[in-house]
Structure 1
Amino acid sequence: MLFLIELWESVRDFVATGGQVLYVVAIALFLMWVLMIERYWFLTAEFPRMRNSIVASWDARQDTTSWYAHRIRDAWISDAAEKLNQRMLLIKTLVAICPLIGLLGTVTGMIAVFETMANQGTGNARLMAAGISMATIPTMAGMVAALSGVFFSTRLEAKAKVAKAKLVDSLPHH
């Protein structure tokens, strides 16, 4: 329990140093990871059942060679591909937004530095350092959030592409 309290204190100090923009970065990061975990769950647990159902439906068809059969096959593949790529654009958007939110923190931190300079003069280095911390920490947090998202979203996209290719290969068109 003491460990959790110390961890919470560390996070609270980090947010206090970096400013309120870190909450927005945290929300974007949380949403991005929830969506990516959901997509991994779909790829590993839900899609194999869907794939098996489509393959069984195709194998049960009497006609697999006519033009109509090929259109049905294409429709099933298209539907599966759409479900595989669901929410990927939102994940990519969140990845792209994280550094921009960090830059918003940079702007607000620099405004705090300039306000301090205007009110206190350039002699109060401690107050200026607080503003500079507020300017750099959100940028770093936004970049770290985006980097984690880039790596895993790219892997997720590759897995979806492979899953679609395996589905296509499982539905032979004679």
Structure 2
Amino acid sequence: MVYLIGLWESVRDFIATGGDVLYAVAAALFLMWVLMIERYWYLTSVFPKMKKQIIQDWNARADTKSWYAHRIREAWISEASDQLNARMLIIRTLVAMCPLIGLLGTVTGMISVFETMATQGTSNARLMAGGISMATIPTMAGMVAALSGLFISTRLEAKVKIAREKLVDSLPYH
């Protein structure tokens, strides 16, 4: 419990040093990871059952050669593909947004530095340092958040592509 309190205080101090923009980075990071975990769960738990049902339905059909049967097959593949790709665009968008939110922190931090310079002059380095850290920490946080999501989202996209291709291969034309 003491460890968690210390961890929370460290996070709070980090956010205080980096400015309020870090809350937006944290929110984007949290949503991105929730969606990526959900997609991973879908790919490993839900989709295999769906795939099995589609294959059973296809193999149970008496007609798998006609034009109509091929349209049904394509529709099932399309529906499965839509389910596989659900929320992947949101994940990619959040990965792209994280550095931009961090850059917003850079701009607000630099505005703070310029306000300090305008009111206190350039001789007070200590006051300017607070604004400079507010300018650099959100950029770093946004980039770290994006990098953490980039690797996993790329991996998820590859798994989605492979799962779709395996489904297509499992529904042969007879």
Q: Same fold, TM exceeding 0.5?
A: yes
Give the equivalent residue in structure 1 for 2:131: 131
Give the equivalent residue in structure 2 for 1:122: 122
Question: Aligned partners of 2:9, 2:150: CA distance in 1, in Å?
Answer: 29
Corresponding position: 1:149 with 2:149: yes
Q: Which residue identity lines up with residue 103 of structure 1 in the other structure?
A: L
Question: Aligned partners of 1:105, 1:67: CA distance in 2, in Å?
Answer: 57
Deviation per CA, 1:2-49: give whole Å up to 9, x if none: 100110110011001000000000000000000110000100000000
Question: Aligned partners of 1:20, 1:78: CA distance in 2, in Å?
Answer: 43
Root-mean-square deviation over aligned CA pairs: 0.5
Report the TM-score when normalising by structure 1: 0.99
| C-alpha displacement of 1:50 | 0.3
Give the equivalent residue in structure 1 for 2:13: 13
Unmatched tracts of structure 1, length 5 or more: none
Deviation per CA, 1:26-85: give whole Å up to 9, x if none: 000000000110000100000000000000000100001111101000000000001000
Q: Which residue identity lines up with residue 26 of structure 1 in the other structure?
A: A
Question: Aligned partners of 1:37, 1:15: CA distance in 2, in Å?
Answer: 25
Query: After TM superposition, what 4+ stretches of structure 1 lie above 4 angstroms from structure 2?
Result: none
Structure 1 counterpart SS, 2:63: coil
Report the TM-score when normalising by structure 2: 0.99
| C-alpha displacement of 1:123 | 1.0
Identity of aligned residues (%): 77
Give the equivalent residue in structure 1 for 2:92: 92
Deviation per CA, 1:109-131: give whole Å up to 9, x if none: 00000000111111111110000
Structure 2 counterpart SS, 1:65: coil
| C-alpha displacement of 1:104 | 0.2
Question: Aligned partners of 1:32, 1:4: CA distance in 2, in Å?
Answer: 23
Structure 2 counterpart SS, 1:173: coil
